[in-house]
């Protein structure tokens, strides 16, 4: 049996690669994709377990293109179907969907297209698939395979159980020859077994990929002053779409209101709104018209938006499953994305109250345990990603380098004395005070709660006034985690000493503590090694504050609006980033960018090239005036090309006066990367730079050698990698331009006019 399929596979795999390049614009399959596609092309039943953003769709879409007939995709959510079909069409692949929202006339025309063999992919809802006559309609077609998306819906154990899914077993009965591909982002064993059994899969090949999402940076911040914390966070994420998950409906609305007051395009979403209001908000978010959604966990299911750049948890989630699913909505395109969790003890108390109210004591117990795991994650002093993955049964063999703990490892010190102060405060309040009140006592705060209980009279009152509230909170959490204290939930969350705690208090044991370095400023995207660790998909990171990137993004939005599709359907953020690095100015160069397939190139490639040309200063009177003036006091701009474009030259003048890039940025209120883009652009046009500020002679030589080794047509990204990220893109461009000027390929004088 194998013999018949074996010789066929290599050529089909080649064909699959060509499809990937031509339609999707990608150079290669991700490691597991290739194996999966081979399995599918060999006619095997296949189960794919891969995290969100892992690239499941390509796994069945590409084989569908290579094989004769139509691939029938079963998908549970109408919105998702619509998105996928739109994305396929944008890539030039013929696809359609049939569900309850599609009118009769359109259904007939889709059916005709199917019969004529014009459709490669047909998306259907399970209800439609199982409805009267539909299966016999399919019988009359050549079906290449069935792809069951979100296959975990079949399992009654899972969180998205859909009874219709259990009837999908009829597919095997009625189409015994057609292979079935089941795909899901849920990995647990029970679900996996259910999928295989219920779909009656015959010896399926199972592909279980790592559930790590290395491009997601993780951090936890203290839950004080959250509104301002969010506002500050957004200052470093201008124009980047994201979701703030809140605990209550009220909170969603309030927070969205406050953000709007600050001029941020924010909306809210929760189950208490009308369907219409909800779908409007969702649509605005998809189209990048809203930057921020403040939502309850009701938001996110069935959202395919690939350029969500961050997720903030305004409150502690109830469990790690939910948390992981919610942060998973960020960075689906593989570009760097951030997950920030605000943690406060008050949230734990509130959640615990909610959970323990459950009538079923077993459920209450289970959920309490889950909450405790969540809390441990939030209070962790070691790599957060390891903790997360361990929760899902996956072992990471080293720290991730892309979480707050890895970036700012806490310092361990002998904390016996501090611990004794805290433990003594607990003892002297007769083990009746909750955590925040103990902090107040240690800090010597004379507030209502303290005075009314007479705590201002005890010996430890104010004993820790030299530290901050956050410090004490953190130390008390550590004492709880290390088992020196426990919480009597039934007694108003009072802190109590354990035996171990008494021992430390009496000086019989030592206690280490960890000092966390809470970053005051928003953390920057990881650089260098951490970034490398963060890009499991092999994609390179660039600073998304680049001027060109912003302009590419604006163009994308404009085109998306013209075509009535969400911006990420036009190009993903990763594709725009690569354009910003490589600056393709020819058809060939543009088609070499990952994510630019033939169809997309034909539809809007030229417009992006035009923009990049403009940016490079070619035909752009608006941005780059052709100024004469090579000396230190350049001549004034020619009158016919006055003010608006002088911004490049203004940066350059300051540079010539000896200011550093940072100083220029500061003085002009621009980002350093914008200043750099001004300088490198003018350098290409013949203006003189003080290159020694950026590169030594050795650097020039090293870059020249590396470029030589790469041969003629290398990408800037390859050079960047080849030099092991030693130089940034600006330095590389300057060095390359320097050589081109030497060779006479670029001017050595600014254009005279």
Q: Which of 528, 525, 589, 597 is nearest to 215 (CA)?
A: 525
Which residue of 39, 57, 99, 436 would you call a contact of ligand ADP, by CB under 6 A? 57
Which residue of 19, 400, 495, 504 would you call a contact of Zn ion, by CB under 5 A? 400
> With CB under 6 A as the contact rule, which of the stretches 3-11, 56-64, 386-394, 399-407 interacts with ligand ADP?
56-64
- Residue 52 interacts, among ligand ADP, Zn ion, none and using kind-specific CB cut-offs from 5 to 8 Å, with ligand ADP
Q: CA-CA distance, 713 to 512, in Å (whole number)?
A: 56
Q: Does 383 bind Zn ion (CB under 5 A)?
A: yes
Which residue of 12, 43, 56, 505 would you call a contact of ligand ADP, by CB under 6 A? 56
Are 60 and 181 spatial neighbours (Cβ–Cβ below 8 Å)? yes
Q: CA-CA distance, 243 to 232, in Å (whole number)?
A: 15
Q: Does 326 bind ligand ADP (CB under 6 A)?
A: no
> With CB under 5 A as the contact rule, which of the stretches 123-131, 332-340, 398-406, 450-458 interacts with Zn ion?
398-406
Q: CA-CA distance, 500 to 426, in Å (whole number)?
A: 14
Helices (H), 101-158: 104-115, 126-130, 134-139
Q: Does 403 bind Zn ion (CB under 5 A)?
A: yes
Number of residues lying near ligand ADP (CB under 6 A)? 18
Are 64 and 117 spatial neighbours (Cβ–Cβ below 8 Å)? no
Q: Which of 53, 50, 51 is nearest to 35 (CA)?
A: 50
- Residue 33 interacts, among Zn ion, ligand ADP, none and using kind-specific CB cut-offs from 5 to 8 Å, with ligand ADP
Which residue of 55, 222, 267, 434 would you call a contact of ligand ADP, by CB under 6 A? 55
Q: CA-CA distance, 98 to 126, in Å (whole number)?
A: 10
Q: CA-CA distance, 199 to 173, in Å (whole number)?
A: 10
Please list, residue by residue across 468-483, b when 16 or more beta carbons sit within 10 angstroms of its beta carbon and e when fewer do: ebebbbbbbbbbbebe
Q: Does 406 bind Zn ion (CB under 5 A)?
A: yes
Q: What angle do CA 473, 476, 479 make, to 5 degrees?
A: 155
Q: Does 29 bind ligand ADP (CB under 6 A)?
A: yes
Residue window 352-381: x/- pattern of binding to ligand ADP, with contact defined by CB under 6 A: ------------------------------
Q: CA-CA distance, 308 to 293, in Å (whole number)?
A: 11
> With CB under 6 A as the contact rule, which of the stretches 88-96, 243-251, 331-339, 727-735 interacts with ligand ADP?
331-339
Query: C-beta of 95: minimal distance to ligand ADP in Å?
Result: 14
Coil, helix or strand for 339?
strand
- The pair phi, psi for residue 191, each rounded to 5°, is -65, -45
- Strand 143-148 relative to strand 205-208: parallel, antiparallel, unpaired? unpaired
Max intra-chain CA distance, the chain: 88
Cα separations (Å) of 655 from 140, 154, 268, 668, 690?
72, 63, 45, 12, 8
> With CB under 5 A as the contact rule, which of the stretches 192-200, 264-272, 381-389, 567-575 interacts with Zn ion?
381-389
Length of the chain: 753
Residue window 218-247: x/- pattern of binding to ligand ADP, with contact defined by CB under 6 A: ------------------------------
Which residue of 267, 300, 334, 567 would you call a contact of ligand ADP, by CB under 6 A? 334
Q: Does 316 bind ligand ADP (CB under 6 A)?
A: no
Query: C-beta of 368: minimal distance to ligand ADP in Å?
Result: 32
Q: Does 76 bind ligand ADP (CB under 6 A)?
A: no
Which residue of 17, 237, 287, 332 would you call a contact of ligand ADP, by CB under 6 A? 332
- Strand 494-497 relative to strand 485-488: parallel, antiparallel, unpaired? antiparallel
Q: Does 579 bind ligand ADP (CB under 6 A)?
A: no
Which residue of 22, 52, 254, 613 would you call a contact of ligand ADP, by CB under 6 A? 52
Q: Does 50 bind ligand ADP (CB under 6 A)?
A: yes
Q: Does 48 bind Zn ion (CB under 5 A)?
A: no
Q: Does 30 bind ligand ADP (CB under 6 A)?
A: yes
| Residue number with CB closer to ligand ADP (17 or 532) | 17
Q: Does 577 bind ligand ADP (CB under 6 A)?
A: no
Q: Does 599 bind ligand ADP (CB under 6 A)?
A: no
Q: Does 325 bind ligand ADP (CB under 6 A)?
A: no
- Residue 647 interacts, among Zn ion, ligand ADP, none and using kind-specific CB cut-offs from 5 to 8 Å, with none
| Residue number with CB closer to ligand ADP (309 or 615) | 309
Q: Does 216 bind Zn ion (CB under 5 A)?
A: no
Both ends of the chain: CA-CA distance in Å?
75
Axis-axis angle for helices 435-443, 469-481 (nearest 10): 130
Q: CA-CA distance, 345 to 439, in Å (whole number)?
A: 12
- Chain residues binding Zn ion by CB under 5 A are 383, 385, 399-400, 403, 406
- Chain residues binding ligand ADP by CB under 6 A are 26, 29-30, 33, 50, 52-58, 306, 332-334, 572, 594
């Amino acid at each position: 049996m194998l013999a018949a399929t074996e010789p066929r596979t290599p050529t089909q795999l080649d064909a699959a690669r060509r499809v990937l390049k031509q339609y999707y614009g990608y150079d290669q399959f991700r490691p597991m994709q290739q194996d999966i596609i081979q399995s599918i092309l060999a006619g095997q039943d296949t189960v794919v377990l891969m995290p969100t953003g892992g690239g499941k769709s390509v796994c069945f879409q590409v084989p569908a293109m290579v094989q004769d007939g139509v691939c029938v995709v079963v998908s549970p959510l109408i919105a998702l179907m619509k998105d996928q079909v739109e994305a396929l069409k944008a890539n030039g692949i013929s696809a359609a969907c049939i569900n309850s929202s599609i009118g009769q006339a359109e259904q007939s025309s889709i059916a005709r297209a199917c019969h004529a063999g014009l459709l490669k992919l047909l998306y259907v809802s399970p209800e439609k698939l199982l409805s009267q006559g539909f299966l016999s309609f399919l019988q009359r077609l050549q079906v290449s395979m069935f792809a069951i998306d979100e296959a975990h819906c079949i399992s009654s154990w899972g969180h998205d159980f859909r009874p219709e899914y259990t009837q999908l077993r009829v597919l095997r009965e009625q189409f015994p020859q057609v292979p079935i591909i089941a795909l899901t982002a849920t990995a647990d064993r029970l679900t996996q077994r259910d999928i295989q059994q219920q779909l009656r899969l015959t010896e399926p090949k199972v592909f279980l990929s790592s559930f790590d999402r290395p491009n997601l940076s993780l951090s936890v911040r203290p839950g004080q002053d959250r509104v301002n914390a969010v506002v500050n966070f957004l200052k470093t994420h201008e124009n980047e779409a994201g979701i703030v998950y809140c605990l209550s409906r009220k909170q969603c609305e309030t927070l969205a209101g406050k953000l709007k007051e600050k001029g941020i395009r924010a909306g809210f979403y929760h189950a208490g709104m009308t369907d219409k209001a909800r779908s409007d908000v969702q649509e605005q978010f998809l189209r990048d018209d809203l930057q921020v959604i403040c939502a309850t966990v009701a938001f996110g299911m069935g959202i395919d938006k690939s350029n969500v750049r961050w997720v903030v948890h305004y409150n502690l989630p109830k469990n790690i499953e939910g948390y992981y699913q919610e942060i998973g909505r960020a960075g689906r395109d593989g570009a760097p994305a951030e997950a920030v969790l605000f943690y406060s003890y008050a949230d734990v108390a509130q959640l615990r109250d909610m959970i323990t109210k459950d009538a079923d004591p077993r459920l209450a117990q289970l959920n309490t345990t889950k909450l405790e795991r969540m809390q441990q994650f939030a209070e962790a002093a070691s790599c957060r990603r390891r903790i997360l993955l361990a929760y899902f049964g996956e072992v990471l063999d080293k720290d991730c380098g892309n979480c707050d703990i890895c970036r700012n490892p806490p310092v361990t010190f002998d904390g016996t004395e501090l611990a004794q102060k805290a433990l003594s405060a607990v003892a002297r309040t007769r083990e009746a005070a909750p955590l925040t009140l103990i902090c107040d006592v240690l800090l010597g705060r004379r507030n209502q709660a303290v005075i009314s209980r007479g705590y201002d009279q005890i010996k430890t009152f104010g004993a820790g006034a030299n530290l901050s509230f956050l410090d004490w909170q953190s130390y008390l959490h550590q004492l709880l985690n290390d088992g020196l204290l426990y919480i009597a939930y039934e007694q108003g969350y009072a802190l109590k000493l354990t035996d171990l705690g008494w021992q430390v208090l009496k000086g019989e044991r030592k206690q280490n503590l960890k000092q966390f370095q809470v970053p005051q400023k928003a953390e920057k995207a990881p650089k260098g090694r951490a970034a490398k660790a963060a890009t499991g998909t092999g994609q390179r990171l660039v600073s998304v504050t680049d001027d060109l990137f912003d302009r590419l993004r604006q163009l994308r939005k404009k085109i998306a609006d013209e075509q009535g599709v969400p911006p990420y359907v036009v190009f993903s953020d990763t594709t725009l980033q690569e354009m910003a690095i490589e600056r393709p100015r020819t058809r060939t160069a543009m088609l070499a960018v990952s994510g630019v397939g033939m169809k997309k190139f034909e539809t809007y490639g030229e417009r992006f090239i035009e923009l990049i040309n403009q940016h490079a200063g070619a035909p752009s009177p608006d941005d780059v005036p052709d100024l004469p003036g090579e000396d230190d006091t350049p001549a004034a701009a020619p009158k016919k090309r006055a003010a608006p474009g002088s911004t490049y030259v203004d940066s350059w003048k300051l540079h010539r006066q000896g200011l550093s890039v940072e100083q220029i940025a500061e003085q002009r209120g621009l980002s350093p990367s914008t200043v750099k883009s001004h300088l490198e652009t003018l350098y290409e046009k013949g203006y003189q730079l003080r290159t020694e500020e950026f590169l030594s002679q050795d650097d020039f030589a090293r870059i020249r050698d590396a470029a030589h080794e790469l041969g003629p047509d290398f990408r800037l990204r390859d050079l960047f990698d080849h030099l092991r990220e030693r130089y940034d893109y600006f330095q590389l461009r300057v060095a390359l331009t320097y050589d081109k000027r030497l060779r006479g390929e670029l001017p050595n004088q600014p254009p005279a006019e």
